[in-house]
Structure 1
Amino acid sequence: MAQWQDLLMLDSAHQDRVSQLYEGRLAREIRHCLCTVIESQDWDSAAVDENKANTCLRALLMFLDEQWNRSVQENNILQGPDFRGMKDYLLKQFQDYPLNLAIILSECLKEEKKILASASDQGCNISAVEQKWRQLDNKVNELKKQTLEIKKETKSLEVLNEKLDFIQQSWQTQVEQHVGLAKSHNVVKEECLKQANFITQTKQMLLQQMVNILKGAEEIVATLTDVELPEWKCRQQMACIGSPVDTRLDYLEKWFTTVAEVLQQVREQLQKLQNQKYNSTSASNSPAPLAEIENFTLSLYTKLLSNALVVEKQPVMSSSPQRPLILKTGVRFTATVRFLANLPQFKYLLSVKPVFDKDVEETRTVKGFRCFDLSSGDSKVMDVDTPRGGLVAEFCHMSIKEAAKQEKGKSKGSSEILLHHNRLGVTEELHIIKFVTELQHAGLQCIIEASSLPVVVISSTVQASSAWATVMWCNMVSTSEPRNLSLFLDPPPLTWEQMSPAISWQFLTVGQRGLDEHQLSMIREKVMDDPDDLVHWNKFSKNESAWTWIDGILDLIKKHLVDLWRDGSIMGFVSRDSTKALLQEKPTGTFLLRFSESNKDGAITFSWVEHSNGEPHVHSVQPYTKLELVNMCVPDIIYHYSLRAQKNMTRNPLLYLYPDIPKDAAFGRYYKKTAMSAPRKVVDGYVDRTQIPVSDCPTPPASPPRDNHLTDMMDMEIDRDWNSETSQVFQEIFSELLGFPNCPMSPPQSLFVDSTPVAATENVH
């Protein structure tokens, strides 16, 4: 229970990781309500022993029975947790497969500890950030408090002015009506002069207090616009390429709004002081200080509001939500802007218009740089969103189309001639969308703009992978404004320290698990050949590049291996030599899963060790491609995989997942229960069958590796045909027009490359 309680005390980002951990595997209500009994069981031992797994399951069921009986006795059935429903859930899901429950809880409890450790490791940094934010929050609150005091004192001064004005106007009338009061005229005049001097001194004091408030506001405005806002934009950049950072705007919106309110109130109080009926004739009360203070206030107000418009959600197509900043011509995309100074008077006041490549110099100077127009660039009025209540404009139906080419010969500037040989590739062009609005309020008039991060425009889905490489590289290199949209005319290299986190984030985004140092080490060998330890753009992204191979694996994980990748069953990035070194000291039947190094479209293989005459022999199966995994998932392949020896005798050589996890413990919960346990059916006189992957049994020493080049070419050609432009356009059109999820269509069936699909049948009774 202590572990679960510690998890409940973490921030929302870490709790989201816990939620993802249980999603689709076990109801989180069970983990919460049964936290005490769950944490008291030895799930690690139960994960490899079915008898222990049964015992642990019975303990959960008994606990639920006890809680149900107690709720009945206390007449608390409706208000309390649904203990009976939880028991039914456990029986339905795990009564026949208690080992699966044990494996899930064993893994989840370990991952929970990792999340707690991660939160603890980040504690110092989080504390430093929170401390900085707390200090800034205190400054903003103090500024607001001082402004309220000024408002009260200004009101009091206004009352004194009215009283003095009344006395001066009415006294002469009283003297005329009562001759005896004439002797008191000098006394009254002297008292009025004293009152006037007090008002003047109070007014000067208030003006000095306002100046002090404005100096504090100046410091805060500089912090917000020059530090906090750029840091948030940098975090948003990293989040766009997969970094699990916090990009919420709650604090910034609060600070911008409070400081804007303070400056607005200072302007109002200055106006009241200026419009008072009583004005001292002393030089110290000349209008010059008021004008100076007013101008200073206006400049701060302008600076704050000019930076208050931000792109909260960067441009993204609904068909690829995990890869923003890639736009396809003619395909709908969305973006959201927010005005951080959330004052009531700004509601419905700001009309925001998107403009593509506004004031972009590259459209005139870079040879071949394409121009685009927004097909739906209508203005949106900023309104209060729900439930947060911020000022937001959401652009939901934007699309772009290529603009007509400029007439040749119309302008032959020297810049075009100089850049004649410096052409950008289609997926190397960077563009921006600016969101523009004009603010006219209380004497303030200014144009406010917010720019998106650089976007890449493609015309074909096959360009998406290269475009994403551009997006990653751009955001790792350039973290400040203004953006260099011709960056890839001469792209700067990246250090491995810059590159490796971004690559790991891609696997975290797709498969909910990043890369460890050993996996990154293998990828490093693929992308680096520079003596200065730098990664160059051409090496990373051009032609048959490292990125093509990495992205093929990401697509493989996304479509077929998410669960196995998330739970750590796939070692993935390990070379043939490393595989041999890892397995040769292990018992016969130990195997590991790794990605093919030669198949650029993404394929997975397993390697296992056998011992003969005291010598270890490591074998690898021909990699399975995406087309083959459509027909049979990896856990079922491992379960059914057989080697065919003499007399057609078969055996499964796969016993332990590296380092020593029993095969069924690692993959049991993923086996197709229906295929394993359901009786065979007879349909139209035919016996139902199942394809079983079978290989000819290798004899030590292992046979020479086959020439995989032709096979890989065939696989890539089939996959390329399936991922044709026609198929992709068909899916995009229907997902956009009908609002359906962008579900991939099933490609045609294919035969296993290295193994013979055997039709397994059972006797029909």
Structure 2
Amino acid sequence: MRTDIKMAQWEELLRLNLLQGQLSNLYETKFPRHIRHCLCFFIEGQDWDSIAVDENKARACFKNLLMHLEHRSVQESNILQGPDFPGMSDYLVKHFQDKPLHLAMILSECLQEERKVLALASQKQDCGISAVEEKWKVLDNRVHDLQRQTLEIKKETKSLEVLYENYDYIEKSWQSKAEQCVGLAHATVRERCLQQASFIIQTKQMVLVDIWKILQQADQIVAVLTDVEVPEWKRRQQMACIGGPVDTSLDHLQKWFTAVAEVLIQVRQLLQKLEDQNKKYNSHDASSPPADTETFALSLLTKLLENALVVEKQPIMSSIPQRPLILKTGVRFTATVRFLANLPEFKCLLKVKPVFDKGVEETMIMNCFRQFDFNRDNSKVMDVDSPNEGLVAEFAHMSLKENKARTKGSSEIHLGVIEELHFIKFLTRFRYAGVNCDIEACSLPVVVISSTAQIPAAWASVMWYNLLSTSEPRNLLLFVDPPPLTWQQLSQVLSWQFLSVGQRELDENQLLMLREKIVDNPDGLVHWSKFKNDSTWIWIDGILDLIKRHLADFWRDGYIMGFVSRKTTQVLLQEKQSGTFLLRFSESIKDGAITFSWVEHTNGESRVHAVEPYTKRDLLALSLPDIIYLYSMREQGNRTRNPLCYLYPDIQRDAAFGRYYSAEKLAPKKDVTGYIDRKLVPFSVYPTPPSSPPQNMEVDWDNCAENDQLFQDLFSDLLDLPGSPLILMSPPPTQVNLPGHSSPFCGSADVGHMI
């Protein structure tokens, strides 16, 4: 049982990407991380704290550790390229056989530091969550209290109806029996009738006072919901749209809106019931419901419902699901709206109609922006969404066409396509129980493009806007004079991009390199004009696409250092043992490429080599782990060897990438055709430096890729339809000669081959 609990410690460190900083230094200097990883079951199953103070326990545990390694080595000897257990055993014998107590002390310290790092991360996470949860708990209690009071008022109103009936019976019957009642009896009956009437008036006054208190409490809650909670949710949604790891669930808001709407409807029904009682029993006294109480209740309900319509899912094209708010003319996109007051009587009551750029006709925008219309009527009736029990309308087949018939007027505003901001409004009319109001919800600003080549630049606009603009109405002219971003703002959103495609954010060292490439002024500000025109963002976007297509697992596991300069690479590697390598992104290939650099020590001299970067086309032919496993250097006499042994800082190569090797490509093929077997193998003849990379990367879009992407955009949605006869045919893969290549740090040029 203890082993299972402890094992979660290492898994949690990997899951939360916490093997950086302090822990990275710990395992780099005191104990190999790949041994910690491969022997996590055994290591976490021992009480190293007590072993570290007992020499006999330490020797016995060290012996058991070697036996465990030997057993694992025999057990997994047939597994293709499994962990190097004999090598681990040799390392432990060499360093700790004569001092097992020292090993126990190291492992005790390592496990303690791991627990500290996990506790700190959990504390930070809990602090952020607890504050929000505490606020929501308070609001929950207030709403529940409102519901409880309303239930009590309903009971009092029902008892008031019984009092009215009793009084009416007595009043009508006592006169018919008046002749039978003489003297004291007659006076007694009359007095009882007057007491009953007085009690009814007092009870009704108490009910009206309680109703007014409920409305005052409801007023405060409605203000919190409409002026605080909904805007905060919309802000969280903005951050989520650009990759932020935030919660955008509407469960709490829907619960509160529904409960408060139900309370206000019930209060209005109670007021009407009191008015009906007055008419029925001809009771027009000072206890009649005042008109301002009904007006107050109606205004609160109207305010709540006018803010109940939200855009749950912002406009998004299925071809780029991680980049909402970018729309391409003629290509299908989707959006979803939700009505937060989810009462049964509202089902199928609301018909929602989307309109494009409604309300901006009178502004300067119409004179300088392109204008668009929907290709069809997209009106939807809001119905109950069964899985989430929400009142929703999903617009699944919207598309835009440019309205070129309208001519643009003269304007001093000159913005590019990616700087034009538009929006979609969702309109509906609410008519129920005397409530008459027009309701609308507005999408976040969208960028409308005409070419897939514009997606990276359009996404830059989307990120920039949503980091800066938090208020309504939407500032569609933001890019006329766009405010700058601080590096803290920009670095956060850049880090989110890597989290969204590879489940790992950028660390401080990676951000430092990007800062040096992006920020070039002392105030630390990044201006839009530089960011949109600089090729750095295009380069980063190419790397994001590279990770998404080919490297997501290795980026998540922390095996790709990625953003590290050539100079820093040389500094990091030259003190490491021969065969230590690291993975970094090419700085010269704008479309995204990855390379590996490794160190060799010969005759007291350290040399760092780097292979020519592998592009998306290369990785499509052979995965990165297979490239690393098969890579070889051809030396004099046609002798070949793989120079890649340890992933920086000291992880045995196969321990890091072994589970990703392709067994089909690495295992020998059966000779069933009479042909001689062959393999696709990357190798270099000898290491040399590459030619100098270009100083400025120019954006040169591939027309073929553009046409293929356009075809996918136009017809990929048809593939989702059942029984669709359309099949998208891709061209057969081209035989690619993967480069094995060059070194920017030492002296000659590689020739890459595939055999």
Structure 1 pair 7/265, CA: closer, same or farther in 2 (3 Å)? farther
1:490 has 2:490 as partner: no
Retained in 1: the 8 A contact 2:81–2:654? Answer: no
Structure 1 pair 244/426, CA: closer, same or farther in 2 (3 Å)? same
The equivalent residue for 2:401 is: 401
1:729 has 2:710 as partner: yes
Distance 1:400 1:697 in 2: 55
The equivalent residue for 1:584 is: 574
The equivalent residue for 2:554 is: 564
Q: Which moved more, 1:518-527 or 1:686-695?
A: 686-695
1:258 has 2:264 as partner: no
- Code of the aligned partner of 1:205: M
1:169 Cα deviation from its structure 2 partner: 2.4
Structure 1 pair 302/659, CA: closer, same or farther in 2 (3 Å)? same
1:122 has 2:125 as partner: yes
Q: TM-score, normalised by structure 1?
A: 0.81
Retained in 2: the 8 A contact 1:355–1:377? Answer: no
TM alignment of 1:217-256, pairs within 5 A: 217-256=218-257
1:475 Cα deviation from its structure 2 partner: 0.8
1:706 has 2:706 as partner: no
Mind listing any 5+ residue stretches in structure 1 that lack a counterpart? 20-34, 60-90, 103-109, 409-415, 761-765
- Code of the aligned partner of 2:162: V
Give the 3-state SS of the residue equivalent to 2:368 in structure 1: coil
1:158 has 2:161 as partner: yes
Structure 1 pair 696/36, CA: closer, same or farther in 2 (3 Å)? closer
The equivalent residue for 2:375 is: 375
1:458 Cα deviation from its structure 2 partner: 1.2
1:613 has 2:603 as partner: yes
1:96 Cα deviation from its structure 2 partner: 5.3
Retained in 2: the 8 A contact 1:54–1:99? Answer: no
Distance 1:508 1:396 in 2: 27
Retained in 2: the 8 A contact 1:7–1:15? Answer: no
TM alignment of 1:254-653, pairs within 5 A: 254-276=255-277, 277-278=280-281, 280=283, 282=285, 284-285=286-287, 287=288, 290-361=290-361, 364-365=364-365, 367-407=367-407, 417=410, 419-420=411-412, 422-542=413-533, 544-653=534-643
Distance 1:50 1:729 in 2: 59
1:40 is matched with which residue: 40, 45, 49?
45
1:687 Cα deviation from its structure 2 partner: 2.6
Give the 3-state SS of the residue equivalent to 2:176 in structure 1: helix
1:643 Cα deviation from its structure 2 partner: 2.3
1:583 Cα deviation from its structure 2 partner: 0.9
Structure 1 pair 203/180, CA: closer, same or farther in 2 (3 Å)? closer
Give the 3-state SS of the residue equivalent to 1:723 in structure 2: helix
Retained in 2: the 8 A contact 1:327–1:456? Answer: yes
1:325 Cα deviation from its structure 2 partner: 1.2
Structure 1 pair 298/16, CA: closer, same or farther in 2 (3 Å)? farther
Distance 1:6 1:229 in 2: 42
- Code of the aligned partner of 1:370: R
Structure 1 pair 226/750, CA: closer, same or farther in 2 (3 Å)? same
Structure 1 pair 268/55, CA: closer, same or farther in 2 (3 Å)? farther
Distance 1:214 1:37 in 2: 64
1:560 Cα deviation from its structure 2 partner: 1.4
CA RMSD in angstroms, aligned pairs only = 3.7
Per-residue deviation, residues 304-332 of structure 1 (Å, max 9, x unmatched)? 11111111111111111111111111111
Distance 1:225 1:246 in 2: 18
1:182 Cα deviation from its structure 2 partner: 8.7
Retained in 2: the 8 A contact 1:53–1:98? Answer: no
1:376 Cα deviation from its structure 2 partner: 3.2
Aligned-residue identity in percent: 58
The equivalent residue for 2:29 is: none
Distance 1:37 1:666 in 2: 19
Distance 2:595 2:8 in 1: 39
- Code of the aligned partner of 1:706: S
Per-residue deviation, residues 453-501 of structure 1 (Å, max 9, x unmatched)? 1111111111111111111111111122211011111111111111111
Retained in 2: the 8 A contact 1:363–1:371? Answer: no
Retained in 1: the 8 A contact 2:682–2:754? Answer: no
- Code of the aligned partner of 2:702: R
Per-residue deviation, residues 591-637 of structure 1 (Å, max 9, x unmatched)? 11100112111111111112233222212111111112222222222
Structure 1 pair 324/150, CA: closer, same or farther in 2 (3 Å)? same
Distance 1:579 1:37 in 2: 34
Retained in 1: the 8 A contact 2:14–2:557? Answer: no
Give the 3-state SS of the residue equivalent to 1:492 in structure 2: coil
The equivalent residue for 2:56 is: none
Distance 1:15 1:200 in 2: 69
Q: TM-score, normalised by structure 2?
A: 0.82
1:742 Cα deviation from its structure 2 partner: 9.1
Structure 1 pair 495/165, CA: closer, same or farther in 2 (3 Å)? same
Give the 3-state SS of the residue equivalent to 1:122 in structure 2: helix
Per-residue deviation, residues 44-95 of structure 1 (Å, max 9, x unmatched)? x99xx99956745999xxxxxxxxxxxxxxxxxxxxxxxxxxxxxxx9x995
2:684 is matched with which residue: 677, 688, 695?
695
Structure 1 pair 648/127, CA: closer, same or farther in 2 (3 Å)? same
Distance 2:273 2:252 in 1: 32
The equivalent residue for 1:22 is: none
TM alignment of 1:2-151, pairs within 5 A: 40=45, 55=71, 99=83, 118-151=121-154
Structure 1 pair 53/393, CA: closer, same or farther in 2 (3 Å)? farther
Retained in 1: the 8 A contact 2:683–2:754? Answer: no
Structure 1 pair 227/101, CA: closer, same or farther in 2 (3 Å)? farther
1:278 Cα deviation from its structure 2 partner: 3.4
Retained in 1: the 8 A contact 2:535–2:696? Answer: no
Distance 1:5 1:125 in 2: 26
Retained in 1: the 8 A contact 2:82–2:654? Answer: no
Retained in 2: the 8 A contact 1:270–1:290? Answer: no
Per-residue deviation, residues 643-669 of structure 1 (Å, max 9, x unmatched)? 233233332222211111122222222
Retained in 2: the 8 A contact 1:627–1:747? Answer: no
1:752 Cα deviation from its structure 2 partner: 3.7
Distance 2:366 2:67 in 1: 71
Give the 3-state SS of the residue equivalent to 2:315 in structure 1: strand
1:746 Cα deviation from its structure 2 partner: 6.5
Retained in 2: the 8 A contact 1:691–1:757? Answer: no
1:115 Cα deviation from its structure 2 partner: 7.2
Distance 1:697 1:504 in 2: 37
Per-residue deviation, residues 492-512 of structure 1 (Å, max 9, x unmatched)? 111111111111111111111
- Code of the aligned partner of 1:529: D
- Code of the aligned partner of 2:386: T
List 4+ stretches of structure 1 deviating above 6 A. Answer: 2-9, 14-19, 35-38, 110-116, 710-713, 740-746
1:208 Cα deviation from its structure 2 partner: 0.8
The equivalent residue for 1:751 is: 737
- Code of the aligned partner of 2:650: D
- Code of the aligned partner of 2:705: N
1:205 has 2:194 as partner: no
Distance 1:744 1:111 in 2: 48
Give the 3-state SS of the residue equivalent to 2:581 in structure 1: strand
**Larger RCO, structure (CA 8 Å, separation 6 or more):** 2
Size of the aligned set, in residue pairs, is: 678
Distance 2:161 2:294 in 1: 19
Retained in 2: the 8 A contact 1:94–1:101? Answer: no
Give the 3-state SS of the residue equivalent to 2:263 in structure 1: helix
